[in-house]
Amino acid sequence: MRTMADQDADVIISYLDELPPAAVADLHDDIHMPGLRIGRQPRPSMPYAGVEWLLPTAVVLYFAKSYFDGFLKEAGREHYHRVAAALANRWARFFGPTPEIKVALVATAGKVDEDRPYSPTLSLMAEGVAGRSFKLLLCDHGSPDQVRTAVAQFLQLVAQLHAGSLDPELASELDRKYRRAYGMVLLALDPVSGRLVVIDPLRRPDGEAPQS
């Protein structure tokens, strides 16, 4: 995903080039703040081979290390609440039984979840530490409030990891529970507990991720 490093972006909006320009243009405007460098990365539609939850969604918001180590230190955590609110406000575009943006996802045979609990349209990714990346899967039929909560918790968690402020026991729990798949840690919101959980890409959620 980090193929736009030469643009020195803090946030990259990666999207299928078949999507209407407004699908990402107003999203750019929603999350922009002075000092934030946002790049756009159109990519062609093509079949992917792999496990569904590891595949890129139609739109991916990628948060680089510089977002956490640089911009966020100046802007404060109100920005990730701004991101959370922006995506919640665009809920009808990306989520629900009849989203405005529709995509067809192709994955390795036997690896597509027939129930499809998570959206193929929108997800978040963040550059972590020690070569890891983090991906937030968003429930396809959750509410706007659940999207807001998941996004805010996700960005806060990664920010704490970059700042070295995550409780050591919780950090150890995250190490123990996550399923390593191409260096990626998958997270999603448990609608019952209202907390993030670690997702095994080959099975159902397997435990809670650290929370502040």
Helix (H, G, I), strand (E, B) or coil at 208: strand
Instruction: State how far the Cα of 90 lies from the Cα of 3, in Å rounded to an integer.
Output: 26
Lowest mean pLDDT among 125-134, 175-184, 203-212: 203-212
Q: If pLDDT is split at 50, 70 and 90, which confidence band does 25 have?
A: confident
* CA-wise closest residue to 37 among 1, 94, 75: 75
Report the pLDDT averaged over residues 146-156.
95
Beta strand 207-208 with 38-43: parallel, antiparallel or unpaired? Answer: unpaired
Instruction: State how far the Cα of 57 lies from the Cα of 123, in Å rounded to an integer.
Output: 6
* pTM tops 0.75, yes or no: yes
pLDDT of amino acid 205: 47
Token pair recorded at residue 113: 């979840």
pLDDT of amino acid 51: 62
pLDDT of amino acid 178: 64
Lowest mean pLDDT among 5-9, 23-27, 189-193, 202-206: 202-206
**Tens digits of residue pLDDT in 54-77:** 788 899 999 999 999 989 888 878
Q: How many contiguous H segments (helices) and E segments (strands) does the chain have?
A: 7, 8
Lowest mean pLDDT among 13-27, 45-59, 107-121, 131-145: 107-121
* CA-wise closest residue to 97 among 114, 124, 116, 111: 116
- Angle of helix 78-89 versus helix 22-31 axis, rounded to 10: 150
Report the pLDDT averaged over residues 24-38.
91
CB atoms within 10 A of CB 211: 15
The percentage of residues in the chain with a pLDDT greater than 70, rounded to a whole number, is 79
pLDDT of amino acid 13: 94
Q: What beta strand segments (E) does the chain contain?
A: 11-16, 38-43, 59-63, 118-127, 133-139, 184-190, 195-199, 207-208
Q: Mean pLDDT for the chain? A: 81
CB atoms within 10 A of CB 113: 12
Of residues 4 and 70, more confidence is placed in 70
pLDDT of amino acid 207: 46
Instruction: State how far the Cα of 3 lies from the Cα of 15, in Å rounded to an integer.
Output: 13
pLDDT of amino acid 5: 45
130: left (phi over 0), alpha (psi -120 to 50) or beta: left
- Angle of helix 78-89 versus helix 144-163 axis, rounded to 10: 150
> What residue segments make up the domains of the chain, in order of their start?
5-56+64-120+145-187
Lowest mean pLDDT among 19-23, 34-38, 66-70, 90-94: 19-23
